[in-house]
Chains A and B, each alone.
Chain A
Amino acid sequence: MAAEATPPCLELKGISFGFHGRPLLEDITLTVGHQEIVSFIGPNGVGKTTLFNIICGLAAPLKGSVIYRGVDITGREPHTICRMGIARTFQIPRPFPQMTVLENVLVGIWFGAEEAGKPDGERQEALRLLDLVGLRHKAEERGRELTLSELRRLEVARALATKPRLLLLDEVAAGLSPQAIREAVELIKSLRDGGLTLLIIDHFLTLTCQVSDRLVALCERKMTAVGKPAEVLNSPEVMRAYLGRGDA
């Protein structure tokens, strides 16, 4: 067993997707290695969030397959995929509004992780995660009482609670202050050092340029450029897309 080469963390093979017969993504193919940080950029509505939905089982691709650590997970249910080790945050946060922040995180610990800790350890673990994202002082507040940027941090804590090996972050940095972005960069780097692989969507390029190993530019259904952040940002296709449309 050990002699075999370990499969990459994630492989997307020829993914195509569309809404109501209108194609949105065509032939997305990408291989992500372990502990790699890959960011997706592209104009509004190009399908970045949809690609995340496909990876974590909330949408089924029309063609192609999603391979996670050598296992084909295309079309599996979201909860199964979560328990296999893929967690995601939502661009528009989806807290459990009536539950406290702590309980929100506990749900991730209870249901997402393959084996849960001791009843007491769970609470400590949840508080530790809240500490990590700077929300510990809000532990007793209800989900509906948080501000948008707090909700984004809750999304991260909750996703981490499921003990993922692959984490998908959808626009967690939107609207953060420069100080908060520096903290987010530190957090992402330490998560990667802890063994996590990350996919990041970042519309404003604030996070991505600083932490990404690779950048993927999506434009009009296709991947137009893949590579080191500086190369991709300077490629003619991306220049045209970003300058031409006035995004970001």
Chain B
Amino acid sequence: MGEDKAMKRVRTPTRLSVALLSAGFLLFLGWPWLTARGGIHCQAMSMALFHGCLALAWNICSMMGAVSLGHTAFFGLGAYGSALLCHYGHLNPFLTIPLGGILGAFYGVLWHIAFGKLRGAPFALASLASVEIPKVIIDNWESFTFGSLGVVGIPPLSPIRVGSFMLDFGENPVHLYHLFLVGTLFLCLLYRQALRSRWGWAVRTIREDETAAASLGVNVRRTRLQVFICSAFLTGICGGVYAHLMGLVEPALVFSLHISALPLVLSIFGGRFQWYGPLLGAVVLYPLDQVVFRSLFPVGHSALYGFVVILTLMLFPQGMGAWLQKRLHLASS
């Protein structure tokens, strides 16, 4: 009897959640045509997906219990790495962006070496402090990084030819939107599979009780290093993409508390214990802020994030994702 119950837990997706997922997917696919093509709504959703990826990357650390306030270090290094490689090496952005990600990942390894022993609040503070090092170096190495003037004239993402069709991400916001959609879906699936693998279990045991995990054979040190590398690499890639979207990078733009805090806000809101939580937070909260609140309160709209975090932590401490999941379970059983 107990066996039947235990076997049932091998989760089969309920019909309701499959229907919801497909509807969501179609909505996102057709979003540019539902709204004015390439208009503000399309661009806002592009950026929402972009921040969804950023939040997913951040949440890998959070899944392990490492709440970081310093991910903007990886972001900035990715952005500068890609921008400078383009500037000096005239390489294709699709090549320089992953290289920027590797630069970020390298800094992630340094984190592990420098303060891999810290946990909880001391870890968060150390991560926050670590942002200053690359920022100060880039700010002052004017002959190479152009200091606080920043790098300008960064080329946009290069067009890709598919048969006779030209995907021009720099010129056409709809193409850019679909690039982000594909990238996000890919990252999301990868993240989900990773979390369901043994490695994902190891990551969660470290969050829940590191000592117990180690005593049960989980290699805590190696898993932590791998988590930092993955998270930093993906955040660096986001930084690289950002540089090519904006066409310029400045230290104050890409090494900012805002970029560290936003993924945290989106993940906490969406649910940091579900694989889809960070993305959910991003596609709900980001457009809400940019489209609705910005037009209502042009100056103070960012305060929304502050309110949302406080309200979520008080009302649904596990985030929207957990709350929704419970509703879905009730509805389908």
Which residues of A does B touch, CB under 8 Å? 56-58, 77-79, 82-83, 87-88, 90, 94-100, 102-103, 106-108, 110-113, 123, 127, 136-137, 139-140, 143, 158, 161-162
Q: Which of B204, B214, B215 has the most CB of A within 10 A?
A: B215
Asked if B305 is at the interface of the complex by the 8 Å CB criterion, the answer is: no
Given contacts A96-B208, A99-B208, whether A79 and B219 have CB atoms under 8 Å apart is yes
Whether B217 and A83, one on each chain, are in contact in the complex, defined by CB atoms closer than 8 angstroms, is yes
Whether B212 and A95, one on each chain, are in contact in the complex, defined by CB atoms closer than 8 angstroms, is yes
User: Can you pick out 11 interface pairs between chain A and chain B where the beta carbons lie within 8 Å of each other?
Assistant: A79-B219, A82-B215, A82-B216, A96-B204, A97-B209, A98-B204, A99-B208, A111-B216, A139-B2, A139-B6, A158-B216
Asked if B117 is at the interface of the complex by the 8 Å CB criterion, the answer is: no
* Shortest distance from the beta carbon of A87 to any chain B beta carbon, whole Å: 8
Whether A102 and B6, one on each chain, are in contact in the complex, defined by CB atoms closer than 8 angstroms, is yes
Whether A94 and B6, one on each chain, are in contact in the complex, defined by CB atoms closer than 8 angstroms, is no
Find A79's partner among B5, B9, B220 (CB 8 Å cutoff). Answer: B220
CA distance A90 to B216 in the complex (A): 12
The residues of A that contact B202 with a CB separation of less than 8 Å are 111
Find B211's partner among A77, A94, A103, A137 (CB 8 Å cutoff). Answer: A94
Whether A90 and B212, one on each chain, are in contact in the complex, defined by CB atoms closer than 8 angstroms, is yes
Sample of 9 further A-B pairs with CB below 8 A, known A79-B214, A88-B215, A97-B209: A79-B218, A90-B211, A96-B209, A96-B212, A98-B204, A110-B198, A110-B201, A112-B216, A162-B216
Whether B221 and A78, one on each chain, are in contact in the complex, defined by CB atoms closer than 8 angstroms, is no
CA distance A159 to B313 in the complex (A): 35
* Shortest distance from the beta carbon of B207 to any chain A beta carbon, whole Å: 8
CA distance A162 to B273 in the complex (A): 27
The residues of A that contact B209 with a CB separation of less than 8 Å are 94-97
Nearest residue (CB) in B for A110 is B198
Nearest residue (CB) in A for B220 is A79
The residues of A that contact B5 with a CB separation of less than 8 Å are 139-140
Nearest residue (CB) in A for B1 is A137
* Shortest distance from the beta carbon of B133 to any chain A beta carbon, whole Å: 30
Whether A78 and B208, one on each chain, are in contact in the complex, defined by CB atoms closer than 8 angstroms, is no
Whether A79 and B2, one on each chain, are in contact in the complex, defined by CB atoms closer than 8 angstroms, is no
B1-22 Cβ-contact flags toward A at 8 Å (1 or 0) = 0110111010000000000000
The residues of A that contact B204 with a CB separation of less than 8 Å are 96, 98-99
Nearest residue (CB) in B for A81 is B215
CA distance A207 to B9 in the complex (A): 36
Q: Nearest 3 A-B pairs (CB), nearest first?
A: A112-B217, A111-B217, A94-B212
The residues of A that contact B217 with a CB separation of less than 8 Å are 79, 82-83, 108, 111-113, 162
The residues of B that contact A103 with a CB separation of less than 8 Å are 201
* Shortest distance from the beta carbon of A244 to any chain B beta carbon, whole Å: 34
The residues of A that contact B212 with a CB separation of less than 8 Å are 90, 94-96
CA distance A55 to B204 in the complex (A): 26
B205-241 Cβ-contact flags toward A at 8 Å (1 or 0) = 1001101111111111100000000000000000000
Whether B9 and A77, one on each chain, are in contact in the complex, defined by CB atoms closer than 8 angstroms, is no
Find A97's partner among B6, B208, B218, B273 (CB 8 Å cutoff). Answer: B208
CA distance A58 to B215 in the complex (A): 8
CA distance A162 to B211 in the complex (A): 15
Find A107's partner among B3, B218, B220, B273 (CB 8 Å cutoff). Answer: B218
Whether B2 and A137, one on each chain, are in contact in the complex, defined by CB atoms closer than 8 angstroms, is yes
* Shortest distance from the beta carbon of A82 to any chain B beta carbon, whole Å: 4
* Chain B stretch 258-317: residues in CB contact (< 8 A) with chain A: 273
The residues of B that contact A139 with a CB separation of less than 8 Å are 2, 5-6
Whether A58 and B211, one on each chain, are in contact in the complex, defined by CB atoms closer than 8 angstroms, is yes
* Shortest distance from the beta carbon of B175 to any chain A beta carbon, whole Å: 41
The residues of B that contact A110 with a CB separation of less than 8 Å are 198, 201
Whether B2 and A98, one on each chain, are in contact in the complex, defined by CB atoms closer than 8 angstroms, is no
CA distance A186 to B270 in the complex (A): 49
Nearest residue (CB) in A for B6 is A139
The residues of B that contact A95 with a CB separation of less than 8 Å are 209, 212
Whether B6 and A98, one on each chain, are in contact in the complex, defined by CB atoms closer than 8 angstroms, is no
* Chain B stretch 164-189: residues in CB contact (< 8 A) with chain A: none
The residues of A that contact B273 with a CB separation of less than 8 Å are 98
CA distance A103 to B11 in the complex (A): 13
Given contacts A96-B204, A98-B208, A139-B6, whether A77 and B216 have CB atoms under 8 Å apart is no
